[in-house]
Structure 1
Amino acid sequence: MAGNSQHRADSESASPSAQKRANPNALELGPRKKPTTQDPLVHHGRHFGRAVHSFCNVQTLLTNGIITMGEDEDIESLPTVERREHTVFRELLRMVPGLEARLMASAEDEVIHIADLIQKGANGARADDTKGMKSAIIDWITPKGQSLNPHIPRNVKSGRGFNHERTGALLCPAGLDWNNTDTRSKLISGQIQVAGDQWPVFLYANYTYDPEDPWNGLLRSGLLVSAFKHIFTSPSSVDQEPKATRSGNARLHGMRCITKASLAYVATQARFSLTSAQVFSRTDLVTDSERFYTTILELLEDPDEKDEVDQLLVWWNRQVFPLFADLERMPSKDSALARIKQKREEYRERAISMSVGAQD
C-alpha cells in the first residue's frame, strides 16, 4: 500500500497539471530579467568604425600608438602613413574617456583584450549597417510613384550591380557612359573590372560627372544624404526635413558635425548595397571596398584639397546637423544685433585712436 501511495504521489507530481501549478502564475509579470550589460569599449568601437576609421586593425593601432605616446611634437617628421595612423590613435584616445591611462597601466594581454572589444564594436556596427541598408536603399533608388523593372527584392542582392539597369547606371564609373552598349556589356560580363579608385557616378549630385570640373557635385548626391541619415540620425529621418535636435547613433555618441571618415564610410556602405556582392569583405577584390574607402578618405584629408573639402563639410553639416553647422551667418541688416556689433566696433576704433594719440 505504501508503495502504491508513493507511486500515485510520484504520478501526480509528474502530471502536467501538477507541473503547471508548480510554475509561476502565467497572468503575473514575474521577476524582472537582469539587464544584459555590454562593455563600454564595444559601444565606443561602434562609433570609432563609423566616424574615425572603418578598416582598422585596432590591436596594431594600439600597440603602435602606445610606443609613440607622448611624442606628439615629433609627429610631423613621421612618414605620411605613420602620421595618419597616429592621428587616428589620438582620436580614439579622445573619444574613449580614460583609455589612455588604462592603456599605460595595462599588460600586453589586457591591451589585446581592449583592442578586441573595440574591434568587436566596429565590426558589429558595420555588419548592422550593411544589413539595414541592403533593404532601405531600394526605396531610395526607386523613382517616386514608380517601380523598378525588373523588380529588385529588398533582401536579395543577386539582381543588383551591373545586372540591373538602375543599379548599373548608378555604379557606372564616372567617365564611362552607361548608355554605351559596348561599355555596358563589358561591365556586365566583367571585361571591364572596376577598381576601388574608379568612383561611381552616384557619388555626384544629380548623378552627373563633369570631367572638366571633377569636384563639381562630388559626394553631394541625394542618395548619400539618405544613406548618412539612415546610419547616423535614424532611418525615419531620411524622408523628413532636418531637425534641430540630434537623434540615433549621432546623438548616442555626441556627434555634432560631419567627419571625413563618416562620409567615406557612408559612401562605402551605399556602394556595397548597390552591388550584387553577398558578403561585405575588406579583401574582396571584386567590390574592392577597402580601396574605395581609403581613396575617398585620402582625398578628403589631402591638404591641397582643403578649400574644396571645407566647403563640402559645411554643405554636409547643413544637410544633417543644421543646429551645429558653422554657417558664419551675419546678423540681419538694421537689427538690434547688427547695431550692437556696429557700436562695439565704433568703440574699439575710438579706443585705438585715443591710445595712438596719447603715445604721440
Structure 2
Amino acid sequence: MESLTKRYSIKDRQFWTIVISLGGASVFVFAAMYSVQPLLPFFTEQFQISVSTASLAMSVTTLSVIIGLIVLGFLSDRYGRVLFIRLSIVLTIIPFLLMPLTDSFSMIIFLRFIQGFAIAGVPAAALAYISEEINQQSMGFATALYISCNALGGTIGRLMMGYLTENKSWEVAFFSLALLGGIIFILVWLTLPKSRNFSVHQRTIQKDLHGFWLHLKNPNLLILFGLGIILQLSFTGMWSFIPYYLAEPPFSLSLKTISFIFLAYGLGIIGSPIANSLAGKVDINMIRTFGVLLLVCGILLTLSSSLIMIIVGLCIACLGFFTAHALTSATVSRTAIHQKGLASSLYLVSYYIGVASGSTLLSPIWLHFKWQGIVMITVLLPILYIAFLNYTLQKKNQS
C-alpha cells in the first residue's frame, strides 16, 4: 500500500477523474431514487390506488436506503470503496429493467425496495473514498461538488420521468434511466482510480455498534440529526405533493409541464458550493439559519395564485435547503469526537428518515387540508426546530 501522504490535490488529473466519476455515479443513483416523485399522481390513476399507497414508491425506497447505508457502510469499511460504488450502479439498473414488465404496483414497490438498498452503496462509500484519496486542502471542494451532483441527479431523474412518461410511456422512462445507468457505469469503471489509501478497518461490528450508541448519547449530535430529519421532511413534503397541487384547478398542469417545475431543484447545485465557500468566513450557525429561513420563505411563496411566484418560491426553497443541509452535514463531522465516519452515516440515516416521513406521513395532511396544510407543517417545523437549536447553542456558549 502506498503512503497515506500521497493524496490527490485539485492540481492533479486524478482529482478531476474522481470528481467526474463519483459525480456521475451520484447523478444516476439520486436520479433513480427521486425518479418516481413526479409520477405519484400518475400512479394514483394508473393503478387505481390511494395517495398514501402511491407515496410508498418513495418512502419504501428511502427506508431501504437507510438499511443499505448501515449495512454497506460496514462492508465498505472492510472490503473497499470502489467495489461497492460499482455494484451499487449495476444493482440500481436492474429494477429499472424489471419494473416496466409488471402490471402490479405491489411488485413495483418490492423492486423499489431492492433498488433503494442498492442505491445506498454510492453514498455509503463515496464520501469515505474522497476523504481517503483527496488531500485536506482540496477535500471540501470535492465534497461540495459531489453533493451538488446529488441535486443534479434529483433534477435529471424527476425531469426525465415526467417528460418521457407524458410523451412516451412510463415504461420507456424507466428503460431510459437504465440506459443512463449503463453509460455511467462504463464511465466509473474506466475512470475511477483504484483506492491507494484504503485500509481495512480492524474494528469489530460490536465496536461499530458501540460507536453508534455513543453518538446517539451525544446531545449535540442528536440535535443535528434531528435537524436533518426536519429539513428533509419539509423539503420532501413540498416536492412530493406539489405535483398533486399543480395538477388540480386552477393550474391543471400536465405531467410534462409539472416535470419542468423540478428544474428548480437544480438550484441545489450551487447551494452546497456557496455554503462551503462561506463556511470559513462567516459563522456556520448564522449561514445555516439563513438557509432554513430561505427554505421557509420559498415554501410560503408557493401559496401564491401565480405560477411564476410558485416557481420562484421553489427555487428559493431549494437554495435554502441545500445551504442548510451542506452545513449541517459539515457540523456533524466537526462535532463528533470519535468515529466521524459513523457519525456522518447516522446523519445520512436521519436525513433519509426525513425523506420517508415527508413522502408518506404527510399524506393524511394532504387528504384533509390539501396544499395549505402541507405548507403549514413544512414551514412551522423548520422554524420551531431552528429556534430550538439556536437557543440550545446560546445556552451552551453561556455555560
Q: How does the TM-score come out when normalised to structure 1?
A: 0.31
Q: Which has the higher contact order (CA 8 A, sep 6+)?
A: 2
Structure having the higher Rg: 1
